[in-house]
Structure formats: C-alpha cells, structure tokens
Amino acid sequence: MGPLTLSDWYYTYTSTQLDIQDFDGANYFGGQPPPNPTNILINGTNMNAAQTTGKYLRAPLTKGKKHLLRLINSSVYSAMTVSLDGHQMQILTADFVPVQPIMVNTLMINIGQRYEVVINANQAPGNYWFRAQVETGCTNDDLNSNGGLAIFTYTGVKVATPTTTGYSDGGCVEPSPLTPWVPNTVGSSAAFIAQSKALDVQILIPGVTTNNQNIITWGVNTSALHVMWNKPIMSYVMEGNNSWPSTENLIELVNEGVWTFWIIQEIDPQLAPVAHPVSAVHVLHLLL
C-alpha cells in the first residue's frame, strides 16, 4: 500500500517564527514549541475536530489479501500509537532492520521511527477506522487529542464514516520482543564496559550548550549543531568536497569493526524535555 506518513501540524506560525521560538524555547515553552492541538495528519490530510473541513485519507482493502504498510512518524513533537480497528498488524521491519514477525493490536511509533507492517484483510467487509493517536504517555502535554483518522474500506463496499471501535491504548511502550531476522555479532560487551569506565567525560562547560541567556542549541562534540538545509552534508560527499563547515559536526570513522563511543548530551532534562529517538541503540545501528 506504500508509505503512510504520520505528522503533527503547525499552522499558527510561519516556519521563520517557529525557528525563532524553537531557539528561544526555554523562555516560551520550557522546550520546543508544541504543535497546534487539533489534528494529526495521515499522508498530509485529516478532518478537523468538528469534522467540518478537510478530508480523511481513504485506503482500499481487498478481502483475503495481505497489505504491506510502511509507517513513518515524520512529526516534530508527537509520539503516536497506530492501529486499524478490528485488525492486527504483523511487524516485519523496525527502522529498516528485518525482524522476526510479531503480531500486535497497536504500535507505538516515536518521532523519526519507521516500521513495516502487514495487515491481513480477514474481517467482515466494511469501513474501518485507521487511527494515529498522540501517545500521551510519552509526554506531559495533552495535545492533539483529536488524533489522526483514515478510512480503510474493503473493495466493493461503499465508502462511509466507520462506526468501528478502537483498541485500548498500549501506552508509551515499544513493541517487544523485536529480534533481528539476521543475527549481527558486535563483539563482547566486556571491552565496551572496560573502556566506558575509563571515559573522561565533562559536559558541564559554561556557554557550550547555551549562551547563558536561555538560548537552546543542539550540541554535538560540545559545539552547536547548525545544519544548512539548502546544502546538506551528503552533497559534499557526492561532490568529493571535504571542506564542510565545522558546525555540520561530521564524524568520520576510520576503522571498521571496533567499538565507537557516542555520548548523548543533555545537561538537565527538565530544561529541554524533548522526546527523541536518538538512543544508544539507534546510534549503534548507524555505526554498524
């Protein structure tokens, strides 16, 4: 069925205004600015809370067939739980990694994450709600309570507003167990543990992560990460040009097959309570 993107929606401010608020987020919101609390978009569309404007995404189901969905949470702020009323989903991949298939009723997808799932159209032909609800268990904000809805309709059935009932909220919990289809041996953890104890880490350096005036920046290697969207780092690689700005914080790994350490830096989680999928596991995937 192709990709299904899930996104929150900022429509009160321009992108320039949002950029200013984001960098001055500590003064305004205690973190990044939240999206507008009305809708989650599924492939860029949804009805508003009053169901008076907009439109639902419509997707076909063929009785007796299996349907592959590529789910992408492209939102800025919102972790989401997705489900299709009356149907289970079989997870096949997690962040591009093929896994041993497992069946779930609901699937929590954090910001930036991707899953491939199969839906078996084995229920009574009709119209079913596909739901993308903001997972409030992952945040202190009760935003986007209207969530995102789409209509999945069996072939031969007239499209209509579904009357189906959703599953219970699975909470802010990732699916488990997710076991890679192809085992990947990364070496003994003993070497990692021994070396990690010897790391000399100092991130409490005044002025590195802020200018001491509540201006928040994303820091990598104790410097602000400032990405130029009109000149992505990949374009330098394609051009054979290694004169990229230091603020791009490009990290080159000289040797393969060795442990490489990344430190995820956050001075105080109360200053920037931002959900983000960059964890030690994800970094390790990138390095491998």
Say what the pLDDT of residue 287 is. 37
Reported as a single tens digit per residue, the pLDDT across 63-106 is 999 999 999 999 878 889 999 999 999 999 999 899 999 999 99
Spatial CB neighbours of 20, under 8 Å, sequence gap ≥ 6: none
Domains of the chain as residue ranges with CATH: 2-154 (2.60.40.420), 184-288 (no CATH)
CA distance 239 to 1: 35
pTM (2 decimals)?
A: 0.72
1 or 25, higher pLDDT: 1
**Mean pLDDT score of the chain:** 78
Q: What is the pLDDT of residues 228-264, one digit of tens each?
A: 777 888 888 889 998 888 777 777 777 777 766 666 5
Could you tell me which residues come within 8 angstroms of residue 227 by beta carbon, excluding any fewer than 6 positions away? 233, 248
Please report which residue ranges of the chain form alpha helices under DSSP H.
15-23, 25-28, 189-197, 233-239, 280-287
Q: Is residue 4 predicted with pLDDT exceeding 50?
A: yes
3-state percent breakdown (helix, strand, coil) of the chain, nearest 5: 15, 25, 60
